[in-house]
Structure 1
Amino acid sequence: MARSPSFFQRLFTSRKEHDASPQLASLPELVLSARGLARQLRSGPHGNRRAGDGHEFWQFRPHQPTEPASLIDWKQSARSPEPELLWVREQEQHTPRSLFIWVDPSASMRWRSSDSLPSKYRTALSDALALGQAALLGGETIGLPGSRTRFSGHQALPKLAHALMQLPSETALPNFAGIPPHATLLLVSDFLWNDNVMQHCLARLTTHPGRTALLAVLDPQERHLPFSGSVQFTSCENEPELTLPATESLHDAYQARLTAHFDQLRTAGPSLKPFFRFHVTNQPALPVLADCHHFLRGRA
């Protein structure tokens, strides 16, 4: 489905030159940053909330007479109000899951309002790679929508980063074909799409039964309209220029329109309420990523 810039994109791809496409030379820096963030997320394997041979605590249960004494948790047993009862510490059973990641590569994502800020695309890549590395450390397999390539193991992050950076900028939407029904899906974009593209994406999301996380990366000038007076806007995606007078009079209407636009993602359908968060590029990543990581691990 062809993608054309939305009103929001036309409004904010202006006044500053958008970033050139990140060169592969920046890949090591992105990988190092992602690894650092992933360590702070304290990644661990996914649990299925049933006993197994994993490494995360699940529950205590009474020791059975037929079980060896080596299974007894003596500290817990000593704290028990029933001295005759011995306790066994059970771990969660761990089963690798699949996480599919898509980062919006479109031209409007390369924009930033100030040279002191990263572009939306660079922020989106950094966020996605941090969550991807956390998943890899947890034993997950990672895929890209529309690709048969899979990534696994602690050392797969550079290959994942390279694959994400190779997505062509004209890729309008993720290709949902081939994603396993119960795979977890992470989409990172500004989601400033026109209504037709938005409805197309929402229709596809409602058919995906697995967990879906949507991370909206915005520049601070997109999150809150900062302009006053007459402003000329130009597009990153070859749209006509737009000149608006008295932009200060648009602040309230813009905020209401933006809220309504993103509310479509927060409540995508009667049976689907995907996890949704904002990351504004002048804000720290860790609080938002911690929420995303918690959801992706199945804890929310």
Structure 2
Amino acid sequence: MTDTRELSDPEFFSRLDGIELRARAVVEGFLHGLHRSPFVGFSVEFASHHEYVPGDDPRHINWKLYARQHRLYVKEFDGDTNLNLYVLLDVSGSMACANKGRSKLAYAATLTAALAHLAIRQHDAAGVTLFADEVLANLPPRATAHQQGEILGLIAGAAPRAVTDAGKAIHQAAELCRKRGLVVVISDGFDDLARLTDALDHLLFLKHEVILFQVLDPWERDLPLEGNVQFRDLETGETLTTLSESVRDGYQAAVREWLNDLDRECRSRGIDRIELTTDDPLDKALLEYFVRRGRMV
């Protein structure tokens, strides 16, 4: 959990406010883009109707049906319980990469807050787990009024940790995802492919639906620079200086092969992998993804 000493730290509150404002802006843009969408149901699919009785949620009244029938009907939904949303957020050292001004961790934190806001707005339960070489903090899913604030506080207090072991950490996180639900892993995916996919298999074995949002920095994906470039490993501190033109083709080919391999492994498991770079607008990315899945808030 967030260190209580940070609660009197102005910088902490600045980070907290910044994440909340960005997340709300993302959600507002996302919802604006969905306003003409034909899809319904973030957590559950629309099934049928029943006639309105006192105590029904008026937000679920089908007003188009009322215009035809002149009677109030309420939408019913498949499923007896709301969704449990588990967001596993990578806070390892490589997530500190910020060549375009915004770090992968800052981008991923905003995405985490936006997803939690969407879920809680839908009265679903949302929780967040921070991981690097192990699980560092865990906030179990809840649908309470204070949960959004708890999530924001946890995210705002997160700082990059040097070492990565996503495979080990996700295995640990899987044991904390006790009720079946939707597990969203937000990470750059920098780990051995076999170890990473084995951990994702653990989540699938527990009957969760799994989504991987892979967040990358544009420079580390495309290497668009000219001249001498110094690479620094954010987890070991090691540096390497080289001429970008001499390595670009090989570098880009290796990155493409790695991404294609990861994408193939995810598709073979029915896992949606969404690749994002830190200069992608998050609201458009969410809109494209959820509309493609046939879901909306």
TM-score (norm 2): 0.71
Q: Deviations over 1:180-218 (max 9, x none)?
A: 463101111111324454344344344343221111122
Alpha-carbon distance, 1:260 to partner? 2.3
CA contact (8 A) 2:19 2:156 kept: no
Matched letter for residue 152 of structure 2: A
1:11 corresponds to: none
State the 1:270 CA deviation.
7.4
Q: 1:139-190 CA distances to partner (integer Å, 9 max, x unpaired)?
A: 1101234636333245532211222344572574332113146310111111
2:5 maps to which residue? none
CA displacement at 1:51 relative to structure 2: 3.0
CA contact (8 A) 2:211 2:272 kept: yes
Larger radius of gyration: 1
Distance in 2, Cα, partners of 1:240 & 1:198: 24
AA in 1 matched with 2:240: L
Partner of 1:220: 218
Distance 1:182 1:298 in 2: 19
Aligned with 1:273: secondary structure?
A: coil
1:189-200 map, 5 Å: 189-195=187-193, 197-200=195-198
SS of the counterpart of 1:236?
A: coil
Aligned residue number for residue 140 of structure 1? 124
2:103 aligns with: 119
Q: CA 1:250–1:91 in structure 2 vs 1: closer, same or farther (change >3 Å)?
A: same
Once the two structures are TM-superposed, the CA of residue 261 in structure 1 deviates from its matched residue by 1.6
Q: Distance in 2 between matches of 1:214 and 1:127?
A: 12
For the residues of structure 2 that align with 1:296 and 1:23, how far apart are their CA atoms?
36
Give the whole-Å Cα distance in 2 for the aligned partners of 1:23 and 1:258: 35
Q: What is the alpha-carbon distance in structure 2 between the residues aligned to residue 195 and residue 47 of structure 1?
A: 32
CA distance in 2 between partners of 1:40 and 1:155 (Å) = 24
8 Å contact kept, 1:46–1:297: no
* Cα separation, 1, equivalents of 2:267 and 2:217: 30
RMSD (Å) for aligned C-alpha atoms: 3.4
Does the CA contact (< 8 Å) of 1:215 and 1:276 recur in 2? yes
Taking the aligned partners of 1:180 and 1:27, their CA distance within structure 2 comes to: 28
- Contact 2:103 / 2:278 at 8 angstroms: preserved in 1? yes
Structure 1 residues 129 and 201: CA distance shift in structure 2, 3 A: same
Q: Which amino acid aligns with 2:68?
A: Q
Q: Structure 1 CA distance, aligned partners of 2:26 and 2:230?
A: 38
Q: How does 1:27-46 map to 2 (within 5 A)?
A: 27-42=16-31, 46=43
TM-score (norm 1): 0.71
Match of 2:275 among 275, 278, 282: 278
Native 8 Å contact 1:41 1:134 kept in 2: no
Which residue, 42, 45, 49 being the options, matches 1:48?
45
**Alignment partners' CA distance in 1, 2:66 and 2:85:** 39
Higher helix share: 2
> 1:70-219 counterparts in 2 under 5 A?
73=65, 75-76=67-68, 91-93=75-77, 95-114=81-100, 117-145=101-129, 147=138, 149-166=140-157, 169=161, 170=163, 172-173=165-166, 174=170, 175-180=173-178, 182-195=180-193, 197-219=195-217
User: Residue type matched to 1:76 in 2?
Assistant: R
Verify the 8 A CA contact 2:116 2:127 in the aligned structure 1.
no
- Structure 1 stretches (4+) deviating beyond 6 angstroms? none
Identical-pair percentage: 20
5+ residue gaps, structure 2:
1-10, 35-40, 50-55, 130-134
The 2-side partners of 1:177 and 1:98 are apart by 15
> Does structure 2 conserve the Cα–Cα contact (< 8 Å) formed by 1:213 and 1:296?
no
Which residue does 1:231 correspond to in 2?
229
CA shift, 1:134, in A, is: 0.5
> In structure 2, what residue type is equivalent to 1:152?
A
